[in-house]
Amino acid sequence: MNTEQNTKNDALIHVKNVKKYFPIKGGVLKRTIGHVKAVDDVSFSINKGETLGIVGESGSGKSTLGRVMLRLLDPTEGSIHFNGIDISHLKRREIRPHRRDMQIVFQDPFASLNSKMSVAELVEEPLLVQTKLTKSERRAKAIEMIEQVGLRAKDRLKYPHEFSGGQRQRISIARALITRPKFVICDEPVSALDVSIQAQVLNLMKDLQEEFNLTYLFIAHDLSVVKHISDRIAVMYLGRIVEITNKKDLYEEPLHPYSQALLASIPIIDTGEATKAKKEKITLTGDIPSPANPPSGCSFRTRCPFAHERCKVERPELIEKEKGHFVACHLYDK
Amino acid sequence: MKKHAVLDVAQLKTYFYLNNGQVAKAVDGVSLSISPGETVAIVGESGSGKSITALSIMKLINKPGRIVNGEIALNGKEMQALSEKQMTGIRGNDIAMIFQEPMTALNPVFTIGNQITEILRKHKKMNKKDAQAKAIHLLKTVGIPRAEEIIHEYPHQLSGGMRQRVMIAMAISCDPKLLIADEPTTALDVTIQAQILDLMLEMKEKFHMALLLITHDLGVVSEYADRVLVMYGGQIVEQAKTKELLRHTKHPYTQGLMQSLPKLDEDVDRLGTIKGMVPPAYNFPAGCRFSSRCPFVMDKCKVSNPELTEIDTDHFVRCHLYENAGDES
Ligand SMILES: Nc1ncnc2c1ncn2[C@@H]1O[C@H](COP(=O)(O)OP(=O)(O)OP(=O)(O)O)[C@@H](O)[C@H]1O
Ligand SMILES: Nc1ncnc2c1ncn2[C@@H]1O[C@H](COP(=O)(O)OP(=O)(O)OP(=O)(O)O)[C@@H](O)[C@H]1O
Ligand SMILES: [Mg+2]
Ligand SMILES: [Mg+2]
């Protein structure tokens, strides 16, 4: 799978050279004095039925990327093709027909649901906005969906506060899937949940993916969760993808020093069974730099144990080191 | 009661008396003891009573909560009888605590230097100059660069990881015998989490502290704790040396937790799950508190809550499956 050549028929989404810069205003005149480069020249594609995971530390630009892909935010530069159509320059009105095909599930199941609406109303709402179905058709579809996410039909009359975190996340998922989208962005959908509940929701998401042939972009900072659910994984650092490959290669042979450190940082449960010998521990020093003022050259160089002169002056491009395995690091582009 | 324990807690019960007359049994009969230099982890899901256990040890329970039963001894000295003033002397001095969100524990209007020197002047009766020098030394010890400058900065000027380092510097400032860390890294990114946990362990060795580490991450338990207590519904349901617990997991709840975690080194199509959800502390099921979710539930589980029983050397389980093993058919 090639991030560049993947515009062919099996790619559902193709993101090319996308940038999202937020202006920083300052001074009494509130002039723009700089930019937060939240997403800085990112390209990849996702095939139909595939799950692409995105990992990266807080502030690395994961949510911003997701929002730009759905055009909830406008890209500063670059293009996004969905189903072969360039949606990056469509006007609001022109996007509307595509909305029902692209949905998002957010992290916080408490904040993202309107507390004054019943479950049935919440789940039906996207149909009201995006289809011409009658009231009874909408209600019937909503009840079907409520049951599909593992809630009971009689729960439809309840309100969000009457549910636990995991159940609220099921409501959010029902809302996202009611329009039968092709593509769903899951932005940390299980991060706020306890492990036993997290497992229930992850299993549900896999079941629904199989049932509806969904394509997922799955954002999380928990690598174990991302590895479990994804086919391929992109690692982000300060607005850029530093490595992208299938999950097996990323876990067995991470190339980028940041990916290596990220993997080595995860505490592993020693159950005594043939737990793989842990890779030599690379502990990073220092903090994540501010995306408003990223280091010159390679933005990871300030924390990288292998940084050398060239890393200060030249930004590494994402290159295909092995088939389908891309990395942006000067250790590999000599 | 073990000899020479730094901390000994016996039959601690901390209840919250809610407005509607209900009683939330947040901590309900917890006993634990920590030896000098030992790292003990408490692990459990949200609401299982981990923080309330820690806060009870610190005597920081406010209304509508109350410690209704139990003995807490520090270095063999019973603390229940102590006045609030005596407790203030113990907090920070003999026991220090690190909280999940460092912003809530740091005062936003004072500089980092001010906050550390204040502790030193209060507990160690140092003069201003010595306290200042010691503060810089402490910040350097916890790996803060530019310590001389940082003491003049305010908490909001630091990153989450730096703040947690400052909290650790404050915690070790008076050489406590016991450090309680309540989810010290939950709010941090994994690469920073690894730095902070390694630092805590290093400080523990260096200053011969005992560590009570509260976490919901079994990976953290595996890598950092000597012994582990698993809490569910305000009670300890399983307790053993870390390796023993992770390798010979006995309680159905602990087993369920282990199976519901995605693991980096293995691939499964679907994760194991524990059905249902954690019951609220004011409405536990009768009998065993896990009975409403347990895949092995038996009739007696619904009527009697099993005792925490030693089923192997230092391995304790609260489960009817392991009682009088053999005479169950
Ligand atoms: N509307 C906005 N205006 C200005 N800056 C923004 C805006 N939204 C995001 N940013 C900045 O862009 C950067 C990337 O933020 P983003 O939320 O995408 O990160 P993230 O990877 O999702 O982080 P997290 O793991 O914390 O959710 C951050 O520095 C953030 O402060
Ligand atoms: N002020 C309070 N009033 C009423 N109930 C409370 C109060 N504080 C805590 N509780 C109850 O006590 C129980 C234990 O809470 P505790 O904070 O110890 O959980 P925890 O294990 O630390 O969870 P978490 O992982 O979410 O931090 C919970 O059921 C909670 O609802
Ligand atoms: Mg985000
Ligand atoms: Mg807590």
Asked whether residue A152 carries a pLDDT value surpassing 90, the answer given is no
Mark which residues 136-195 of A lie under 8 Å from B by CB.
164, 166, 194-195
| B62 within 8 A of B87, measured Cβ to Cβ | no
3-class secondary-structure state, position B165: helix
Are residue A97 and residue A225 in the same domain, yes or no? yes
Does residue B329 have a pLDDT over 50? no
Say how many CA atoms lie within 13 Å of B178 toward its Cβ: 23
Could you tell me if A282 and A220 lie in one domain?
yes
Q: Is the pLDDT reported for residue B313 higher than 90?
A: yes
Give the β-pairing of B39-43 and B23-34: unpaired
For chain A, how far is it from start to end, CA to CA, in angstroms? Answer: 23
Atom number of ligand 1 nearest to Cα A65: 18
Q: Give the separation between CA B71 and CA A94, rounded to whole angstroms.
A: 69
**B 134-193: CB under 8 A from A:** 159, 161-162, 189-193
- A282 has a chain B CB within 8 A of its CB: no
Q: In what order do the strands lie in the sheet with A319-322?
A: A102-105, A183-187, A215-219, A51-55, A232-237, A240-246, A325-327, A319-322
Q: What is the pLDDT of residues A229-272, one digit of tens each?
A: 999 999 999 999 999 999 999 999 999 999 999 998 888 888 77
- Span B72-95, pLDDT tens digits: 999 988 988 888 888 888 888 899
Domain count across chain A: 2
CB of A321 within 8 Å of a chain B CB? The answer is: no
| Cis peptide, bond prior to residue B64, ω within 30 of zero | yes
Same domain, A113 and A80: no
Band of residue A334 on the pLDDT scale cut at 50, 70, 90? confident
The confidence band for B161, taking pLDDT boundaries of 50, 70 and 90, is: confident
Question: Does the pLDDT value for residue B319 go beyond 50?
Answer: yes
Do A218 and A330 share a domain, yes or no? yes
Q: Are residues A175 and A79 in the same domain?
A: no
Q: Which residue has the tokens 């050549």?
A: A5
Give yes or no for A284 touching B (CB within 8 A).
Answer: yes
Question: How far, in Å, CA of A169 to CA of A107, rounded?
Answer: 8
Query: What is the spatial distance between Cα B74 and Cα B94, in angstroms, rounded to a whole number?
Result: 8
Q: Which pLDDT belongs to residue A5?
A: 44
Domain co-membership, A68 together with A163: no
Task: Report ipTM for this prediction.
Answer: 0.84
Q: What are phi and psi of A254, to 5 degrees?
A: -65, 135
- Cα nearest neighbour of A203 on chain B: B270
Cα A280 from Cα A260, distance rounded (Å): 9
> Mean per-residue pLDDT for A186-208?
88
d(CA A47, CA A245): 13
Examine the domain organization and report whether A314 and A249 are in the same domain: yes
Q: Which amino acid is at A158?
A: K
Query: Who among B189, B218, B259 is closest to A57 (CB)?
Result: B189
Residues A5 and A140 placed together within one structural domain of the fold: no
Q: Is A148 contained in some domain?
A: yes
**Pairs across A and B, CB distance < 8 A:** 119
Where does the pLDDT of residue A279 fall: very low under 50, low under 70, confident under 90, or very high at 90 and above? low
Asked whether the predicted pLDDT for residue A140 surpasses 60, the reply is yes
Euclidean distance between the first and final Cα of chain B, in Å? 35
Residue A315: inside a domain: yes
Strand, coil or helix: what is B120? Answer: helix
Query: How are beta strands B77-78 and B95-98 bridged, if at all?
Result: unpaired
Q: Does residue A201 form part of some domain?
A: no
Question: Does residue B255 have a pLDDT over 50?
Answer: yes
Mean pLDDT of A294-320: 95
**Within this chain, do residues A95 and A33 fall inside the same structural domain, yes or no?**
yes
> Which residues of chain A have a CB within 8 Å of the CB of B277?
164, 166, 196-197
Please write the tens of the pLDDT for every residue from B197-238. 998 898 899 889 999 999 988 999 999 999 999 999 999 999
Confidence of residue B1 (pLDDT cuts 50, 70, 90): very low
Ligand 1 site residues, Cβ closer than 6 angstroms: A 22, 36, 38, 56, 58-64, 221, 291
The pLDDT, as a whole number, for residue B186 is: 77
Highest mean pLDDT (candidates A27-41, B144-158, B228-242): B228-242
3-state secondary structure of B148: helix
Chain B residues within 8 A of A280 when measuring between CB atoms: none
Mutation pick for ligand 1 pocket among A19, A39, A62 (CB with most ligand atoms within 8 Å): A62
| CB B24, CB B13: distance < 8 Å | no
Same domain membership, residue A321 and residue A211: yes
* Residue A278 confidence class, pLDDT cut points 50, 70, 90: low
- The boundaries of the domain holding residue A63 are 1-101+207-268+275-334
* The predicted structure's pLDDT at residue A259: 95
Residues in A touching B260 (Cβ below 8 Å): 195-196, 198-199
Angle at A49 between CA A43 and CA A52, to 5 degrees: 40
- The answer as to whether A60 is a domain residue is yes
CA–CA dist A180, A148 (Å, integer): 12
Q: What is the pLDDT of residue A216?
A: 97
Where is B49: in which H helix or E strand? none
Q: B261–A275: do the CB atoms touch at under 8 Å?
A: no
Ligand 2, atom 16, residue with closest C-alpha: B49
- Residue A189 counted as domain residue: no
Q: Are residues A116 and A133 in the same domain?
A: yes
> Domain residues of chain B, as ranges?
7-94+176-328
What pTM value is reported for the model?
0.89
Answer whether residue A231 is part of any domain: yes
Residue pair B39/B6 in contact (Cβ under 8 Å)? The answer is no
Can you give the pLDDT at residue B74?
Answer: 93
Per-residue model confidence (pLDDT) at position B185 = 84
The CATH number for A292's domain is 3.40.50.300
Compute the distance between CA of residue B210 and CA of residue B6 in angstroms, rounded to an integer: 7
Residue B151 clears pLDDT 70, i.e. is over it: yes
The closest of B128, B125, B50, B119 to B91, measured between CA atoms, is: B119
Confidence of residue A2 (pLDDT cuts 50, 70, 90): very low
Q: According to the model, what pLDDT value does residue A281 have?
A: 67
**Pair (A75, A16) in one structural domain:** yes
- The pLDDT mean for chain B works out to 90
- Predicted confidence band of residue A213 (pLDDT cuts 50, 70, 90): very high
Instruction: Give percent of chain B above pLDDT 90.
Output: 64
Question: Which CATH architecture describes the domain B7-94+176-328?
Answer: 3-Layer(aba) Sandwich (3.40)
Please tell me the predicted confidence (pLDDT) of residue A277: 52
Q: What is the pLDDT of residue A6?
A: 45
Question: Is A165 within a domain?
Answer: yes
pLDDT of residue A323 exceeding 90: yes
Question: What is the per-residue pLDDT for A280?
Answer: 61
The band of A139, judged by pLDDT with boundaries at 50, 70 and 90, is: very high
Minimum-distance ligand 1 atom for the alpha carbon of A188: 27
